Structure 1
Amino acid sequence: MIIQLEKPTLRRKDMDAVLQTMADEKIGPGELTQQFITLLKNYMGDVDFVFALRDRYHALSYALTAIGVGKGSVIGVSALSPKFYVDVANTLGATLQIFDVDPETGVLSFEEISRYDTSMLSALLLYEPYGNIPSDSAWNSLGLPIVEDITESFASVYNLRKAGSVGNIVVCSFEESCIVSTAGGSAILTDDAEIGSSLETLLEYSYPYLALPSMNAALGVVQLSQLDKNLKKRRSILDTYRNALMKTRHTQFGIQDIDFEINGYGFVAILDSKPSIAQQFALRYEVATEMAFPQTVISDSLEAFERFPYAIPCATRGVRFPLYPFLGNQQIIQIEKVISHLP
């Protein structure tokens, strides 16, 4: 049987929590939504403003609007950012200015931004792929408002600095494959009083229709309570894969610093060969894989190597492997063997 690429971390407690909301006939936004928000606030360091919405698209749109992005604005993003960022920007009447990624982190390059005339930018939208977060802590020196998307980096820590510590406003999605899943949903978080007040005004009438339902929040409440256990398992699996990849000529995507506590969102190998060959090899041994960056903001510009010398190899040769807490020991061994013998 083929080992699935993704599988939601759903235990009996999660199922019981959802069923209880149905039995209580309280499936819409309510007490559990607020409980999820409170737990999220506490985990992120007692953030002043938290709004739980039903999807990442609206969360990003409202977050950008709250920092003043609108018609004619220019948003700086990394070349590996998901393509739907273009749609979000277009909806607001804004455009994207695309920069290469940092070769160490895979996040928007601070060096690239520093060399650019930042007066031409309205804001930055930081995408943090596969658990990686910025290694540079001087982002505020740029004088630009920053939306930090920690959907994939939630719970990662670098030198005691958690994901979410760079942005003036933070967005985190909780989709099926995320570290914490509500089967769809996102949160907007900020400590900035002015931005928080702006969000309250923007959401004053629409929030009842956009707020995360209790049925979804019930999943989040249980999963946040199990977060440490799940992170430990994810990190252990990632270490196994990392050691296996070191036996090959291929490289791991992202930060390798021993001070980096990655969340184990996923494992990506940047191949020194054709991805199709490696994927066929993995499938022969019943391990599902997928290109790590199938749809990015530069998907139509993969020949522009001179502009994006670090991002393009990731987009064209990055392959991800199954990594989730429900992998059994034999499955982990099976994937480990595939990784250690990648052609």
Structure 2
Amino acid sequence: MHKIIPVAGPSITKKEIDYVTDAVANGWNENANSYISRFEEAFKSYLGRKYAISLPSCTSGLHLSLLSLGIGPGDEVIVPDATWIASSAPISYVGATPIFADIDPETWCLSTETVKPLITKKTKAIISVNLYGCMPKYDNLLKLGIPIIEDAAESIGSKYKNKLSGTFGVTSCFSFHGSKTMTTGEGGMLVTDDDYIYERCMILRDHGRKPGDILFQNQEVGFKYKMSNLQAALGLAQLERIEELVGKKREIFFWYKEALEKGDAICGLNPEGLDVYNSFWMTTVLFKKELGINKFNIVKELQNKKISTRPFFSPLSSLDAYRDSSDAERAKLQNKNSYDICSRGVNLPSSYYLSKDDVLFILDNVGLVV
């Protein structure tokens, strides 16, 4: 019987095991933050950013970003309708209103055309999501003059006009969840070049305690948003292999692309425009409209064949979580691209241990269930 093919999963080598073992054995007392410091230094150097703050998740990074910008009740934050709820939940955490923008069908990301009509006097930020490794046209978005928080959870290693994902936002936030291109099990990183934002985030992530305060006198009520030294050890080892990891993701994508080009054109794949280098976190198929497929049925039928997949994220405005949102009804009527693309997409297995034979087996079964 064929083994279960996971939808995602990390690449763990002796390097990761050695670093984590060292952190377990020696990363205590005066060495308690040794790997955290090394990981943050290496990460900001990789991106060429001034500051890097290790965190328990990308979500916590987005949350701190909004707080550091002073965003709260009465404010609006524009976010793509087609994304995972982690991109928008922090807007609700701070009491602001999420405004759901449509995506560009050529990039699967925000564009000035979808964002501009939604800007009001209440708009305080744009959360721009690099969906499935795709990248928007950041030079155009930046011209809008509104602070951009870059949600780079899914796009480490991607580039727009030869600039790395994570270099476009006033803050940029990454995820190191176990399914991501590089992992710390759970974890995230916030990067910024802004001194004030860095200082605010450093206080807020440690229960409102100023860094270096040995008297533990909390300045305000903050959050417990710190990464452990063990996680940082794993993250450092992964970061030192980042080119290899991104290269493997791209190899997997092109295995799928090559095989699909030889068969019936039942679907397309993640876009990669002329100015974009896509790290292809998850290879995602977009079935042709005329097939009339139900993405949830595809996922369930492939699971029965021991192939784990995920449905393309559902539009945020369609979720019960946002049924009372003031912008949901407008978004449902206007965001044609989001509703179309989200309805036809399925994330295919993209684990590092996937073989070319696995890809052919997966596509054979996709053809059968379609």
Fold shared per TM-score above 0.5:
yes
Where does residue 37 of structure 2 map in the other structure?
34
Q: Which whole-Å CA distance do the structure 1 matches of 2:140 and 2:315 have between them?
A: 29
> Structure 1 residues 212, 313: closer, same or farther in 2, change over 3 A?
same
Matched, 1:313 2:340: yes
TM-score, normalized by length of structure 2? 0.83
Q: Which whole-Å CA distance do the structure 2 matches of 1:145 and 1:276 have between them?
A: 36
Whether the aligned pair in 2 keeps the contact of 1:53 and 1:185 (CA below 8 Å) is yes
Tell me by how many angstroms 1:286 deviates.
Answer: 3.7
The number of residues matched between the two structures is 342
CA-based RMSD: 2.7
Structure 2 residue identity aligned to 1:330:
D
Cα deviation code 1:38-74 (max 9, x no counterpart): 11011111x1121111223322111111122122211
> Structure 1 residues 35, 113: closer, same or farther in 2, change over 3 A?
same
Cα deviation code 1:120-154 (max 9, x no counterpart): 31111112211011124122221211110101011
Tell me by how many angstroms 1:278 deviates.
Answer: 3.8
Tell me by how many angstroms 1:29 deviates.
Answer: 5.0
Structure 1 residue matching 2:121: 3-state secondary structure: helix
Q: Which whole-Å CA distance do the structure 2 matches of 1:38 and 1:284 have between them?
A: 45
Matched, 1:267 2:283: yes
Tell me by how many angstroms 1:244 deviates.
Answer: 2.9
> Structure 1 residues 24, 238: closer, same or farther in 2, change over 3 A?
same
Structure 2 residue identity aligned to 1:270:
L
Structure 2 residue identity aligned to 1:237:
I
Where does residue 326 of structure 1 map in the other structure?
353
Q: Which whole-Å CA distance do the structure 2 matches of 1:314 and 1:78 have between them?
A: 13
Tell me by how many angstroms 1:312 deviates.
Answer: 0.8
Structure 2 residue identity aligned to 1:235:
R
Matched, 1:172 2:174: yes
Where does residue 335 of structure 1 map in the other structure?
362
TM-score, normalized by length of structure 1? 0.89
Q: Which whole-Å CA distance do the structure 2 matches of 1:284 and 1:54 have between them?
A: 34
Structure 2 residue runs of 5 or longer lacking an equivalent are: 212-223, 321-327
Tell me by how many angstroms 1:220 deviates.
Answer: 0.5
Cα deviation code 1:198-234 (max 9, x no counterpart): 3345446458753211100010111111111121111
Equivalent of 2:268 in 223, 229, 252: 252
Cα deviation code 1:159-212 (max 9, x no counterpart): 212212321111111111111101111111111234334334544645875321
Structure 1 window deviating more from structure 2 (298-307 vs 317-326): it is 298-307
Structure 2 residue identity aligned to 1:239:
F
Structure 1 window deviating more from structure 2 (293-302 vs 267-276): it is 293-302
Q: Which whole-Å CA distance do the structure 2 matches of 1:295 and 1:79 have between them?
A: 5
Structure 1 residue runs of 5 or longer lacking an equivalent are: none
Tell me by how many angstroms 1:294 deviates.
Answer: 4.8
Equivalent of 1:49 in 37, 48, 51: 51
Where does residue 105 of structure 1 map in the other structure?
107
Percent of paired sites with the same residue: 23
Where does residue 162 of structure 1 map in the other structure?
164
Where does residue 215 of structure 1 map in the other structure?
230
